[in-house]
A and B are shown apart, each in its own frame.
Chain A
Amino acid sequence: MNVRNLCFLLLMLLASHALARGVYQTPEAFLDEVFDATPPAPQVLWLKGDIKVTAEEILGHRYPGLRIRYWGGDQRTAWILEEIGKEKPITVGLVVNPQGMELVRVLEFRESRGWEIRYPFFTAQFQGLGLTSTRELDQPIDGISGATLSVRALKKLARLALYLHQQTEFSRDPAP
């Protein structure tokens, strides 16, 4: 391969646009997609008492906030949560319904490694998962070599969203 061909190959690589590090979807677009373009007004779940303690147990550290916003309707709740992978927070949108986890989507990834967690081939593993009595995911998640910390962060956020959903009115059966 001569220098010209090598330069051409490099330019082709640099010109491609599939995202790795960056914003994949804005929270607004995520909510529009989840709620058919008419997201409900956000609600607030205060982190106090048992909820605060359990959230800390799941994350392994204190949640950086006093409350968590969420959006709910028809026994579904949507959450936009953040957790640090290795150094930077990963922003994730999660939707929980009565059957368990409905959707996990990485909205923003800020680190140089571990970007593979954004792909549907990985996040699809979370669909339908619930919590065990010890608040672990009830099915194993196959990780990604070299992205251990990012995978770990996503698993924590899935557990947190499933638990928080249980604390909202949307987890209860609607009145007959």
Chain B
Amino acid sequence: MKYRSISPLLLIGLLLLTTRVSAESQPAPSIEELWRIIQAQQAEIEALKQQQAQTEQKATDADEKAEAAVVAVEESASSSSGTGNWADRTTIGGYGEVHYNNLDGSGGEDDKKEIDLHRFVLFLGHEFTDDIRFFSEIEYEHGVAGEDQVGEVEIEQAYVEFDLNDRHLARTGVALLPVGIINETHEPTTFYGVERNPVEKDIIPATWWAGGIGLHGQIAPGWGYDVVAHEGLKVPGMNDPDFNNYKPRGGRQKSGKADAEDLAATARLKWTGLPGTEIAGSIQYQSDITQSEDPTAGSAWLYELHTVIERGPFGLRALYARWDLDGSGPESIGADEQMGYYIEPSYRFFNDKLGIFARYNQWDNAAGNSSDSEKQQWDIGLNWWPHEQVVLKADYQFQDNDDGREQDGFNLGVGYEF
């Protein structure tokens, strides 16, 4: 260890001695030589400076090129901002649902054991300008459409929308009517139960679309409105072989060469001024619910009121709807008053991945007399959302109808939207 610590000192001493001897052996440079050396060094410094500047310029150029490339990539990736080309202004979407029903009929009602591609829907939209756009929805129901087939193809929406200003827009074409909870928002991921609730189906009747023109917008923070003039119902009257007891569902004309002899109008006021809370009411006037085909029928009014509450994991939906039909024809069979309501509490678990619900439905399409026409249905079940746009459903239903014709059992379903 001692040898190792002394050795470096000896080496340094030898080096110093050698250097000194070497320096003393050479003559000192003249002033001219020193000047030449300085000039040469100065030239070298200038060259190095120039080289450094060129390097910095290249680095700056490279940064700018990289920035331009990044911006180009980002602009390409974010072309969905609505100001791009034709493709950017065209949107597609859709939803669908497949159901399995396992229901036992009683009191004369048939069993229902079916697997059904209940709905397959495609949306197509296009924005002509920032203020004018088109939207459409084409729906295939029950898998197979055609003559003598169980399914059908329907265009439920095909309208052009014009922004009047930042608060109001006008819509004309074929559109869903602003009434009820599920008539406008009915993607399977948005509601509980495999099948849509029977009250909105048989009373309102959802899904209900019509050709017409409307104004939509808001009148104050949290207050929205809709006013629509549209084709009316054409409920088969007593002189019609398809007479259906003046039930509104059978009167939807679906804008298929719709009889426009007697038009209708719908208005809705909606309040959403509190998070998780919607309260809305609609009123509709039909100038003649049979399009003047049945002299014993006439005008009709629809009143609808509902609330949707979602506070934390708790949910509640409640709806009341009622028709008043004029005329001796509807009155003679109690169809002058048709009403229904439902209430549906729910609760979500596991970060909104799983939800359970119960729903009580009561409705009557002949509530104007004392006939045994009232229907009741309980639904209990669950929704599981493995993805926010995919839902698996299961529920059990049991009915208690005045006429004794009932279907009880369970339903399974899968739905999606995109």
Contact = CB atoms under 8 A, between A and B. Distances in A.
A87 B93 contact: yes
Most chain B CB within a 10 A radius of its CB, from A121, A125, A141: A121
A89 B311 contact: no
Contacts of A84: 80
Nearest to B73: A66
B220 A18 contact: yes
B221 A142 contact: no
A16 B74 contact: no
Top-9 shortest CB links A-B: A142-B276, A145-B278, A142-B275, A64-B77, A145-B308, A22-B166, A64-B78, A65-B74, A19-B166
Given A18-B167, A146-B184, A116 B222 contact: yes
24 contacts: A13-B168, A13-B215, A13-B217, A14-B165, A19-B166, A20-B167, A64-B78, A65-B78, A66-B73, A84-B80, A87-B125, A112-B133, A112-B161, A116-B224, A119-B222, A121-B273, A122-B275, A136-B351, A144-B272, A144-B276, A145-B181, A146-B185, A146-B278, A148-B190
Contacts of B167: 16-21
Nearest to B171: A112
A14 B168 contact: yes
B248 to A, nearest CB: 23
A21 B313 contact: no
Interface string A68-90: 00000000000000101011110
B117 interface: no
A143 B272 CA distance: 10
A116 B280 CA distance: 14
B404 interface: no
Interface of B: 70, 73-74, 77-78, 80-82, 91, 93, 125, 133, 161, 163-169, 181, 184-185, 190, 215-222, 224-225, 272-278, 308, 310-313, 351, 388
Interface in A89-136: 89, 110, 112, 115-116, 119, 121-122, 125, 136
B398 to A, nearest CB: 28
A41 interface: no
Contacts of B163: 21
Contact of B221 (A18, A21, A82, A112): A18
A125 B219 contact: no
A140 interface: yes
Given A110-B82, A146-B184, A148-B190, A116 B166 contact: no
Interface in A15-41: 16-22
Q: How large is the interface on A (under 10, 10 to 19, 20 to 34, 35 or more residues)?
A: 35 or more
A175 interface: no
A84 B389 CA distance: 14
Contacts of A148: 185, 190
A19 B161 CA distance: 17
A48 interface: no
Contacts of A146: 184-185, 272, 278
A57 to B, nearest CB: 13
Given A21-B163, A119-B221, A145-B278, A89 B312 contact: no
Contact of A17 (B70, B165, B274): B165
Contacts of A65: 73-74, 77-78
B70 A67 contact: yes
A10 interface: yes
A145 B70 contact: no
A152 B385 CA distance: 14
